[in-house]
Amino acid sequence: MKAKQTITRRRFLKTAGVTAAAFTLSGVPTIIRGKEKIVEFGAVEPLTGRGAKWGTVVVQGEELAISEINEAGGIKSLGGAKLAMSKHDTESKPETGITAAERAIQKGVIAILGTAGSSVAMVVTQVAEKNKMPMIVVTPQDPKIMQRGFKYTFRVTANAEIFVPGELAAIASLVDKKTKKKVKTIAHMYEDSAYGQAENAIYNRDASKYGFELILSQAYPGGTTDLTPYVNKIKALNPDFVGLTGFFFDTCNFVRTIKEQNFNPMGYLIEGNSDEFITETKKDSNFAFTYLLWNEGIKIPGTEKRAMEVNERFKKQFGMNMDGWAMLGYVSTYVLKDALERAASTDPDKLRKALSETNLTGPKGNIMAAKGGRVQFDDKGENKNAIIMFGQILNGKREVTWPAEYKTAEPVFPVPKWGERP
Residue 76 lies in a domain: yes
Q: Is residue 243 part of a domain?
A: yes
6 vs 161, more confident: 161
Q: Cα(237)–Cα(230) distance, rounded to whole angstroms?
A: 12
Identify whether residues 30 and 131 lie together within a single domain.
yes
Residues 228 and 359 in one domain: no
| Strands 135-137 and 153-155, sheet pairing | parallel
Task: For residues 271 and 213, state if they share a domain.
Answer: yes
Give the integer Cα–Cα distance in Å for 249 and 2: 15
* 253/397 same-domain check: yes
pLDDT (mean) for 190-210 = 95
**Is 50 exceeded by the pLDDT of residue 30?**
no
Higher pLDDT: 183 or 34? It is 183
148, 169: one domain: no
Residue 299 within any structural domain of the chain: no
Query: CA 256 → CA 94, 229, 261, 396, 398, distances in Å?
Result: 30, 13, 9, 16, 19
Q: Give yes or no: residues 154 and 165 share one domain.
A: no
User: How many Å separate Cα 31 from the centre of its chain?
Assistant: 30
Does 165 share its domain with 152? no
Is 25 among the domain residues? yes
User: Could you give the percent of the chain with pLDDT greater than 90?
Assistant: 77
Q: What distance in Å separates the CA atoms of residue 375 and residue 92, rounded to the nearest whole number?
A: 27
DSSP count for the chain of H helices, then E strands: 12, 13
Is 381 a member of any domain?
A: no
Measured distance CA(127)–CA(7) in Å, rounded:
13
pTM of the model: 0.89
**pLDDT tens across 275-332, in order?**
888 999 999 999 999 998 888 767 776 677 888 899 999 999 999 999 999 999 999 9
27 and 86 inside one domain = yes
Phi, psi of 86 (to 5 degrees): -115, 115
Label residue 250 by pLDDT band (50, 70, 90). very high
Within-domain flag for 1: no
Residue 383 lies in a domain: no
Task: Residue 313: give its domain's CATH number.
Answer: 3.40.50.2300
CB 58 within 8 A of CB 104: no
Backbone φ, ψ for residue 263 (5° rounding): -90, 120
- Euclidean distance between CA atoms 192 and 169, whole angstroms: 24
Tens of pLDDT along 219-243? 999 889 999 999 999 999 999 999 9
CA distance 119 to 100: 14
pLDDT of residue 31: 53
Does 96 share its domain with 181? no
3-state secondary structure at position 392: strand
- Longest alpha-carbon distance in the chain: 71
Please tell me the predicted confidence (pLDDT) of residue 35: 65
Does 73 lie in the same domain as 35? yes
Residue 319 lies in a domain: yes
**Cα separation of 27 and 197, whole Å?**
40
Same domain as 279, residue 416: yes
Determine which helix (DSSP H) or strand (DSSP E) holds 85, and give its type and residue range.
strand 82-89
The whole-chain average pLDDT of the chain stands at 90
**In terms of domains, do 14 and 84 share one?**
yes
Q: The domain containing residue 263 runs over which residues? A: 161-292+389-420
Total tally of structural domains belonging to the chain: 2
